[in-house]
Structure 1
Amino acid sequence: MTSSDHLLDLILTTQEIDLLLRSSFGFDIHRKHYGEDFRLASGAPLEVIAGDSAGGAYFLCAEQNGRRPVVFASSEGEGGLLADDLVKALEIIIGLEWRDCLSFSGGGDVEVMQISAHHLERYRHKHNSDIDNEAAQVAAALSLRITPVAELVIRLHAAASRTAPDYVVIDDDGQAFDPPFGEHVEPRHGGWR
């Protein structure tokens, strides 16, 4: 059993962790209906392992150097590398508003991502004051590290920057997903507050 298989099995058999990942962190191992026929641009297959409530999907790639990289494909047509393995992906998922951090990245500028992450962290706590406790609970159950947001941003940026050419997601119609970095530096309506 690979470490990815072990983690997924642990999530599936630990109801409280499964529920927290689904409800607070957008990682639902019961949502595997989106992206079943997706592949990488290289032709390598992808294994759907989870989805989110917005219709996106998380995938495991084929093993490389003892690890299985994780890519994400949104229902809006953006996709790319999230992390080099499921452990690192889950640390990003529980520790960072990572999708919005990519959306508000100024085209992939790590400094813009750091600023966005700071504002998104405030938003996250405003809407769920128990989020840090929930992240700690998931981390303890799955033997993950609680990593500072600034470090998670650097890891996310490094992974997403390596999307092309090896981790470009192709849908079942042969269309390539857009790169994961959005052009915005702050929300269009009202900015960061």
Structure 2
Amino acid sequence: MITIADLNSSQQLIEDLYWPFDFDTLRAADDSSWIQLDPETPFKVIAGERTGGVFLAYGNGDPNTLPILYVTSEGQAGHVASDLTEFLAVLMTAPYWRDLLKFSGNGSLIEMRKTAVFMEREYAEDNPDLLDARNRIMNVLSIPKIDDPIKSLRDSIHATDCTVVAEDGCRYESLFNSFTSSDNPHWK
């Protein structure tokens, strides 16, 4: 089991998780008073990301073993993993996981797999530091291999059991978007 403390065990690890994986553990201390879960559930912010979204461990018990909820700053939320260790396994395998959701055709595993083919190439080209950062992280943390990280991510989001309610009472939407890989003119 990987713990929240493990994520902050070295400056290099903190930096590698931040870039290129966009998992900023230093943002865990940011104000979270804007987050209201429905049903009302205790939570702990464990990280943030560049666009203002946050990752929460939510429920009762040890935060290191609780499910992870991702909350965007644009009004979407969803359960992305059963615990921190599983989320890190998905993150290391598919650092472009947000794009898998954006081009998921409302949560279609087939569409997510099609998107992964394009994103694997694009992400490697756009993030030349990815392999080195991943190797450093994997050398420090005991991140297990998941047989099918895309299916794991999809199934976790389908299993979302709570959401965020905005201050105006509106409920956050699903993390799945209706775009498909064919909607991107660069992916042919």
TM-score normalized by structure 1?
Answer: 0.86
CA shift in 2, pair 1:140/1:188, >3 Å? same
Query: Is the contact between residue 63 and residue 69 of structure 1 (CA under 8 Å) also seen in structure 2?
Result: no
| 1:19 corresponds to 2:15 | yes
Structure 1 alignment gaps of length 5 or more: none
Quote the Cα distance in structure 2 between the aligned partners of 1:94 and 1:103.
19
The one-letter code matched in structure 2 to 1:190 is: P
Q: CA deviation at 1:189?
A: 5.3
Match of 1:125 in 2: 124
The correspondence for 1:180, drawn from 141, 161, 175, is: 175
- Percent identical pairs in the alignment equals 25
Q: Which amino acid in structure 1 is aligned with residue 18 of structure 2?
A: R
The 3-state SS of whatever aligns with 2:115 is helix
Q: What's 2:185 paired with?
A: 190
Please give the root-mean-square deviation of Cα atoms over the aligned residues, in Å.
Answer: 2.2
Answer whether contact 2:114 2:181 (CA < 8 A) is retained: no
Structure 2 regions of 5+ residues with no counterpart?
none
Contact kept in structure 2, 1:59 and 1:72, CA below 8 Å: yes
Mapping of residues 45-60 of structure 1, within 5 Å: 45-60=42-57
Aligned match of 2:87? 89
Cα deviation, residue 94, structure 1? 2.2
Distance 1:8 1:172 in 2: 28
1:41–1:169 CA contact under 8 A, matched in 2: yes
Q: Distance in 2 between matches of 1:58 and 1:170?
A: 16
Which residue of the partner structure matches residue 152 of structure 1?
Answer: 149
Q: Is the 8 A contact 1:34 1:51 kept in 2?
A: no
TM-score by length of 2: 0.88
Aligned residues: 185
Q: Which moved more, 1:45-54 or 1:77-86?
A: 45-54
Q: 1:105-116, aligned counterparts within 5 Å?
A: 105-116=104-115
